[in-house]
Amino acid sequence: MSGTPRAWGWVHHLRDGGTTPWADWVGDGDPLRPGLPGAQQLELLRRLNRSGPVSPVLADRVLGASAVGRGQPDLELVGAAAEVAFGPRPVDPPDVSADELLRVVTALLAEDVAAAGVPRPRRRRRARPWRVRYQLVGDPELVNAVRVEMAARGRPPGGGDEIVVVLGTDLGRMLADAWTARCFYSGVRSWEAWVRRQARHDRLPPRTDLAEIAEEWAHRVGPDRVHVVLDASELPALLGVRRRVKLPAAPAAAVPDLGRRVAAAIGLYAPTDQTTALLRHRLRPMLSDAGGPSVGVPEAQLGWVTGQAERMGEAIRDAGYAVHGRVEALLPTRRDAVTAPSAGATLDLALRVLRRGSPTTTGNEEET
């Protein structure tokens, strides 16, 4: 696509920080390269310009970026390209969907994250010899947060002859946590599709079925050494500390949604053996300040999740494990949540992160 003088005039305008929509643009310009940037790239740069100054380097990166996924070409600019009989038709940039714009911005974020490289591991605090010996299993997000905090206090898990702490919360949150962990691992389907698949197969994903986890550990260490924890206020006594152990709030829905989209692109820019560390230790800290509601169980799967929570609670109670908290805490709650991440909210987060530039976090946190 060669474009038109008017289209190239608009490209110059956007590259200089302009925000005028394509439909309102009047003025010509000379070509900057052999082909006109796609409608996604042009609209993305216009939206970046609306939120503040954009460096020339970033502007050129956006204009030259490729859209990841599906293997389709960039969308052409209506009025600057001929109509075609096959393939995507030229579009007006404001009509480009948030999902299409995310195909471009996630490629740029993946490139930034890969360029930053895997951070150096943090120096671990020496383990205190008199600490309580324990293993910590269960909800991946909660378990990881507790492991990191306890390691920082000189009380990491392990050490032999341990008790086993099976940590969980309401099953709706645990499902969201399992999905979130996968989003920053190797990528995963959308939240709605993922939950729907779990319900269709009538099986909980690993690390959310606390009864199954507890039974597995009971065979290894004996049921009397298995503790199911559903009330975080009881963690300090079990782990041998005085101060409360902080559990993280569920992240905004846009955080894992952006993570899974970048995960789909990161392999284009980084070696396979580095992608998980980059997603967890570079990308995720960049999203830590994002606000907004978390994901919740869609209405269509709420009955299935409730039934699974009831089954799990009965199995834990019947097995006779030490339970810290009430098994009713496993029932999904109708907390402030959304049943599907908004592509628009995910795009807003992606643009904010892209504007901040390459990540500067240093040091790994222990991940599960």
Asked if 38 contacts 78 with a C-beta cutoff of 8 angstroms, the reply is no
Nearest by Cα to 247 from 174, 345, 340 = 174
Place of tokens 């010899």: 129
Which pLDDT score, from 0 to 100, does residue 254 have? 98
Indicate the pTM of the whole model.
0.91
| Segments in the chain below pLDDT 70 | 1-3, 69-73, 81-88, 358-368
How many whole angstroms separate alpha carbon 95 and alpha carbon 337? 28
| Both tokens assigned to 48 | 């970046």
How many whole angstroms separate alpha carbon 122 and alpha carbon 166? 27
Extents of the domains making up the chain: 5-96, 134-253+293-340
Bridge partners, residue 227, by sequence: 165, 322
Which pLDDT score, from 0 to 100, does residue 84 have? 57
Query: Residue 111 half-sphere exposure, CB side, CA atoms within 13 Å?
Result: 16
246: which residues sit within 8 A by CB, 6+ positions away? 145, 149
Which pLDDT score, from 0 to 100, does residue 363 have? 42
Asked if 308 contacts 204 with a C-beta cutoff of 8 angstroms, the reply is yes
Which pLDDT score, from 0 to 100, does residue 365 have? 46
* Residues shown for the chain: 368
How many whole angstroms separate alpha carbon 319 and alpha carbon 212? 11
Nearest by Cα to 366 from 199, 145, 182, 128 = 145
Which pLDDT score, from 0 to 100, does residue 3 have? 67
Bridge partners, residue 165, by sequence: 136, 227
Question: Under DSSP, is residue 19 helix (H, G, I), strand (E, B) or coil?
Answer: coil
Which pLDDT score, from 0 to 100, does residue 359 have? 54
Which pLDDT score, from 0 to 100, does residue 93 have? 93
Which pLDDT score, from 0 to 100, does residue 364 have? 46
How many whole angstroms separate alpha carbon 339 and alpha carbon 295? 6
| Both tokens assigned to 170 | 């309401």
224: which residues sit within 8 A by CB, 6+ positions away? 322
Which pLDDT score, from 0 to 100, does residue 88 have? 66
Which pLDDT score, from 0 to 100, does residue 367 have? 41
Which pLDDT score, from 0 to 100, does residue 82 have? 57
80: which residues sit within 8 A by CB, 6+ positions away? 1, 3, 4, 6, 7, 36, 90
| Both tokens assigned to 212 | 């199954």
